[in-house]
Amino acid sequence: MAKKIPTRLYLDEEEIPKSWYNLRSDMVSKPDPILHPGTLKSATAADLEAVFCKECVKQELDETNRLIPIPEGLQEFYRAYRPAPLIRAYFLEKALGTPAEIYYKHEGTNTSGSHKLNSAAAQAFYAKAEGLTSLTTETGAGQWGSAMAMACAYYGLDLTVYMVKVSSEQKPYRKALIETYGANLIPSPSNTTESGRKILEQNPNTGGSLGCAISEAIETSVKTDKCRYVLGSVLNHVLLHQSIIGQEARAALEKYGVTPDIIIGCAGGGSNLGGLIAPFMGDKIKGKSKTRFIAVEPASCPSFTRGRYAYDFGDTAKTTPLLRMYTLGSGFMPSANHAGGLRYHGMNPILSKLYKDGYLEARSAVQTDVFDAAVKFAKIEGILPAPESSHAIKAAIDEALECKRTGEKKVILFGLTGTGYFDMSAYMSYNAKTMSDSIPTDADLEKGFASIPEIPQNK
């Protein structure tokens, strides 16, 4: 007789994973190498160490080690907010009348409000261990900036956050949270950098962009002593840190003998999706499971579903190393009416490769449908979700209703990446029915694709 499954499946503290799982080690066909933008040759550790912490660079390039130990000083920080709960959505199942079992991994119980803290803590820990005294980064929606501010407060590092100007104006409380944790927050573009001044000269009234904020953060880190730049998604070492999400979820499900049939994650740069699916995808690659994996992205920024698989830059100034990924082109700008995060033009290389090779499905959703799902979920499950996470909720509800139609008793797991407490302006526009959808035309996409570099590897 199976054990009764509680609403909240908590692991014990000693069950928090002590190593991260490196999915690439089990991939038969590996992602293509990162290229140096000048030489177009594979980037070396030395190339990347000019910008990133050494240990993160090592992890970024590591395709062979299966388990990477989590240092004790970082495990200590993880114990401040982990294990994160895995929740059986009994209320949602009942409300939908579905025979499916629905579970979600809730990563929003920490003050930064999302899974981003898992990698922020790791990157701050390594920076401190390597003798650095400060870090720079950028933030758009603000979850990553909040997470880095918390991590730097804990490890005693100075932090400068370039926050996309329009976002810092629309989200004064997110800005206040970051400042409460002691970070120096600069609305971007700013006069503090060459790249910022250049953009302001050309366009004094710009609201800024993520690509521009990245350029400012990198420039500042390079010219500051004992300082490096940190990024919250897209890169492989970030996905490695996030594998703790999937490892905890799998450990909790295994206690009750449960194996997911479908795993769903929202996808912007891919940090949550990659972390959530990692150990389950390893099982699938090894032929141990037939789990389906579904990425859900906004219809307004559809890199998987309408992008190209090509080498591209990470920033609009075209200064970063080149990554082979699904991309809309670094020049692509999602419509201004797009509310949540998930507005990055590219997708993590590991996930891009898995999608290319057929291990991963993808679909997109328009934001009014996403907020319909968000408000339904909030009322039924009692948790107000982040707009990003609500993309996964929308797909989970759709899959559960499909089970209702077919009578199949599938097990669905999705990632609740965070809470929406600092996204109330988007909820206000949804409540007031002033929220609208925007789907880029083919011509819009062509403009973005034109910014993808014409290099031999892209022919």
8-state DSSP, 118 = H
Q: Does 180 bind a second copy (CB under 8 A)?
A: yes
Q: Does 431 bind a second copy (CB under 8 A)?
A: yes
**Exposed / middle / buried, residue 351 (Cβ in 10 Å: 0-12, 13-18, 19+):** buried
Instruction: Quote the CA–CA distance of 145 and 162 in Å, as a whole number.
Output: 9
Phi-psi region of 272 (alpha: psi -120 to 50; beta: other; left: phi over 0): alpha
Give 160 or 364: the residue with its C-beta nearer to a second copy.
160
CB 437 within 8 Å of CB 366: yes
Measure Cα distances from 126 to 133, 157, 349 in Å.
Answer: 11, 11, 23
Give 182 or 207: the residue with its C-beta nearer to a second copy.
182
Q: Which of residues 10-29 bind a second copy (CB under 8 A)?
A: 10, 12-14
Give 111 or 224: the residue with its C-beta nearer to a second copy.
111
Give 315 or 381: the residue with its C-beta nearer to a second copy.
381
Question: Measured in whole angstroms, how far is the alpha carbon of residue 362 from the centre of its chain?
Answer: 15
Among 383, 401, 445, 455, binds a second copy (CB under 8 A): 383
Among 96, 168, 422, 448, binds a second copy (CB under 8 A): 422
CB of 1 to a second copy, least distance (A): 16
Give 358 or 382: the residue with its C-beta nearer to a second copy.
382
Q: Does 375 bind a second copy (CB under 8 A)?
A: yes
Instruction: Quote the CA–CA distance of 297 and 360 in Å, as a whole number.
Output: 13
Give 175 or 250: the residue with its C-beta nearer to a second copy.
175
Instruction: Quote the CA–CA distance of 433 and 184 in Å, as a whole number.
Output: 36
Stretch that binds a second copy, among 9-17, 96-104, 344-352, 399-407 (CB under 8 A): 9-17
**Structure tokens of 9?**
């499946």
Site map for a second copy, 99-118, x if CB under 8 A?
A: ----------xxx-x-----
Stretch that binds a second copy, among 128-136, 256-264, 312-320, 378-386 (CB under 8 A): 378-386
CB 250 within 8 Å of CB 280: yes
Q: Does 173 bind a second copy (CB under 8 A)?
A: yes
Q: Does 421 bind a second copy (CB under 8 A)?
A: yes
Q: Does 169 bind a second copy (CB under 8 A)?
A: no
Q: Does 40 bind a second copy (CB under 8 A)?
A: no
- What DSSP string describes 282-340? HHHHTTS---EEEEEEETTS-HHHH-EEEEE-SSTT--SPBEEEEES-TT----TT--S
Stretch that binds a second copy, among 78-86, 207-215, 227-235, 397-405 (CB under 8 A): 78-86
Instruction: Quote the CA–CA distance of 103 and 81 in Å, as a whole number.
Output: 20
Q: Does 154 bind a second copy (CB under 8 A)?
A: yes
- 282 backbone dihedrals φ, ψ, rounded to 5°: -60, -45
Residues found near a second copy in the complex (CB under 8 A): 6-8, 10, 12-14, 79-81, 91, 109-111, 113, 150, 153-154, 172-173, 176-177, 179-182, 375, 378-384, 419, 421-422, 424-425, 427-428, 431
